[in-house]
Amino acid sequence: MYALQAATTQRAPRPKFSNTALGAIGTVSLFERNNTIFAEGDDADRAYKVVSGGVRLCKMMPDGRRQIAAFALPGDYFGFDWLGHHALTAEALNDTTAISYARNRLERLGDEDHDVRAELYATLRHDLWAAQNHLIILGRQSARERVTSFLVELIERRKGDNLSTIAVPMTRRDMADYLGLTVETICRELSALKREGVIAIPGRHAVIVHDEAALRRASMADD
Amino acid sequence: MYALQAATTQRAPRPKFSNTALGAIGTVSLFERNNTIFAEGDDADRAYKVVSGGVRLCKMMPDGRRQIAAFALPGDYFGFDWLGHHALTAEALNDTTAISYARNRLERLGDEDHDVRAELYATLRHDLWAAQNHLIILGRQSARERVTSFLVELIERRKGDNLSTIAVPMTRRDMADYLGLTVETICRELSALKREGVIAIPGRHAVIVHDEAALRRASMADD
DNA sequence: GACGATCATTGATCTGGCGCAATGTGTGCC
DNA sequence: GGCACACATTGCGCCAGATCAATGATCGTC
């Protein structure tokens, strides 16, 4: 209790389904930019894995306010949080390819195959972990902290390459609705980070990180 | 898309473990008010079910800011989000009795017993559902909406009895840290609701609901 | 390759909720 | 049963971020 040493931030690994077991039952689907893949309340008969592109998972309020719960990027699974009906709406950020799995076949496979079961469980656990991290951002962080947290998240979700240029497949509005801010505040914070030399913004859908340490410091990611 | 009819709010039922299978492996534990049951980062060797009292599940930032992810009330399970280590800190709201289950025994049981497995899965799914609902509150709702949403949540989690008096086992600070507000704002909103005749406040740990319809209207719970 | 539309950026002003401070109110403990 | 302490409430000024408004950049498309 005395030594509040930096608790090793437990990072939940993104689950990887065994290709062997699941590969056979998936079918490829294509979605155009801004198309709805499924809506909140829809019968949850399919789940998906992003191959290319990206997906926003969100909830809408009757008056149009929107909260994005997560972004699914290549390699990520979504739509597995079934309970008969989807709890979130899924929309393509841009033209997106995904593999879709029929729910009944997934469930059957889960009953038979211990590995598949473990990975379904891991997917759910990862989503819960992500949502809990999101709660502290929305509930207790400043605009600066939110934006830098988000950029750090993009850095860490970036696959393989170690380039300082990170892809930003979503719009400013999407970022705002993910972080509980407005579009204007997102712009102002990004501009401020640019002015301070922490990042550069070569275009709408990319950010170059010049000072990752400063970014992480500003994000207070080290809880 | 035209008819934005009120999407039937999908309510995730709180899971009930089959008493037969789990009853045998649980042991009773007692925790005093404000005692830590487990801390974020602790080895997740046990999970719990609240019998009486209540528990807050929270994350802390190094500077002391706190976000409560959930409250576990009698009948609720917590500490099942394992991945080797607990992602949240669990503290007793007041003197609390809980049944605790050893992780290795739970896992073994889950492998053997289909019903137990389904219920472990349902617990995780319920927690994810709750976290996603929490996100829209923290990201997009006003103080008034947050406080009324919280009271509606307490109404709906209240077991059995249909009394208009609802128990509030947590402090104003706990409410604030759950809703992403300050203690003062909680007080002000509760006072305003009292002034408007929607509720009465007979004591620190109770609220009498005079106009539940108005409360629900103010909470925008009907997304 | 110019038009229209959407998205992004910046400035000016406004405000909901915060921070601070002072005062009430239980509530547990000796 | 009275004292001390933690919790709750209310007032007041302030500020981070929202809102409103105008301009600039980018992109698809005919």
- DSSP annotation of B85 reads B
pLDDT tens by residue, A202-214: 999 999 999 999 9
Domains and CATH numbers, chain B: 19-137 (2.60.120.10), 142-218 (1.10.10.10)
Residues near B72 by beta carbon (within 8 Å), at least 6 away in sequence: B48, B50, B54, B55, B56, B57, B78, B90
Q: If you measure CA to CA, which chain A residue comes closest to B107?
A: A118
Whether the CB-CB separation of B70 and B174 falls below 8 Å is answered with: no
Q: For residues A138-174, b (16+ Cβ closer than 10 Å) or e, as one string?
A: bbbbebbbbbbbbbbbbbeeeeeeeeeebebbbbbeb
- Bases of chain C below 7 A from a protein C-beta are 7-12, 16-21, 26-27
> In this model, does residue A154 exceed pLDDT 60?
yes
pLDDT band at residue B15, thresholds of 50, 70 and 90?
A: low
Q: Is the pLDDT of residue A185 over 70?
A: yes
Are B83 and A10 spatial neighbours (Cβ–Cβ below 8 Å)?
Answer: yes
Measured distance CA(B100)–CA(A184) in Å, rounded: 48
Q: Summarize the confidence of residues B70-98 as an average pLDDT.
A: 92
Q: What per-residue confidence (pLDDT) applies to A116?
A: 86
Q: How far is B125 from chain A (nearest CA, A)?
A: 7
Taking residues A136-158, report their average pLDDT: 96
B12 CA → D30 C1’, Å: 50
Contact B175, B71 (CB under 8 A): no
Helices then strands (H, E): number in chain B? 7, 11
The predicted model gives A182-192 an average pLDDT of 98
> How far is it, in rounded angstroms, from Cα B188 to Cα A144?
28
Q: Provide the residue type at B115 as one letter.
A: D
What's residue A220's pLDDT?
79
The shortest CB-CB distance from A131 to any of B66, B132, B179 is to: B132
Percent of chain B with pLDDT over 90: 72
Please tell me the predicted confidence (pLDDT) of residue B162. Answer: 72
Task: Assess whether pLDDT exceeds 50 at residue B9.
Answer: no
Determine what percent of chain A is predicted with pLDDT higher than 90.
72
What percent of chain B clears pLDDT 70, i.e. is strictly above it? 87
Please state, in angstroms and rounded to a whole number, the distance separating the CA atoms of residues B86 and B55: 15
What residue type is B107 in one-letter code? E
Q: Is the dihedral of CA B212, B214, B216, B219 positive or negative?
A: negative
Cβ count within 10 A of residue A211: 15
> Count of CB atoms within 10 A of residue A3's CB?
4
Instruction: Answer whether A7 sits within 8 Å of B129, measured CB to CB.
Output: no
Which of A153-162, A163-172, B187-196 comes out lowest in average pLDDT? Answer: A153-162
Q: How confident is the model at residue B1 (pLDDT cuts 50, 70, 90)?
A: very low
pLDDT at B195 over 70: yes
pLDDT at res. A12: 64
pLDDT bin (cut points 50, 70, 90) of residue A161 is confident
Locate B127 and state its tokens: 């927690």
Pair of tokens at residue B90: 């669990």
pLDDT at B171 over 60: yes
Query: Does the pLDDT at position B30 exceed 80?
Result: yes
Tokens of A57: 């998972």
CA Rg value for chain B: 18
Reported as a pLDDT band with limits 50, 70 and 90, residue B163 is confident
Asked if residue B43 lies in contact with residue B31, where contact means CB atoms within 8 angstroms, the answer is: no
Of residues B115 and A68, more confidently modeled: A68
CB contacts under 8 A, B 190-219 vs A, are none
**pLDDT of the residue at B13:** 62
What's the mean pLDDT in B16-45?
Answer: 83
Q: Give one word for A53, left, alpha or beta, with left for phi > 0 and alpha for psi -120 to 50.
A: left
- Please name the residue whose C-alpha is nearest to the C1' of nucleotide D9: B187
pLDDT at B148: 98
DSSP H helical ranges for chain B: 19-23, 103-112, 114-140, 143-157, 172-179, 183-195, 212-219
Average pLDDT over chain B reads: 88
Please give the pLDDT value at position A80: 87
Contact A59 B84 (CB under 8 A): no
Q: How would you classify the pairing of strands A55-60 and B165-167?
A: unpaired
pLDDT in tens, B57-77: 999 999 999 999 999 999 999
For residue A6, with 0-12 CB atoms within 10 Å meaning exposed, 13-18 middle and 19 or more buried, which class applies? exposed
Confidence of residue A15 (pLDDT cuts 50, 70, 90): low
Say which range, A110-119, B66-75, B188-197, has the weakest mean pLDDT.
A110-119
Mean pLDDT taken over chain A: 89
Which of A76-90, B82-96, B128-142 has the largest mean confidence?
A: B128-142
Strand order in the sheet with B199-203: B165-167, B206-209, B199-203
Q: How would residue A18 be classed by pLDDT, with cut points 50, 70 and 90?
A: low
Is B59 within 8 Å of B127 (Cβ atoms)?
Answer: no
Q: Which of A4-18, B47-61, B109-123 has the highest mean pLDDT?
A: B47-61
User: In this complex, do A128 and B129 lie within 8 Å of one another by their Cβ atoms?
Assistant: no
* A92 neighbors A37 (Cβ within 8 angstroms): yes
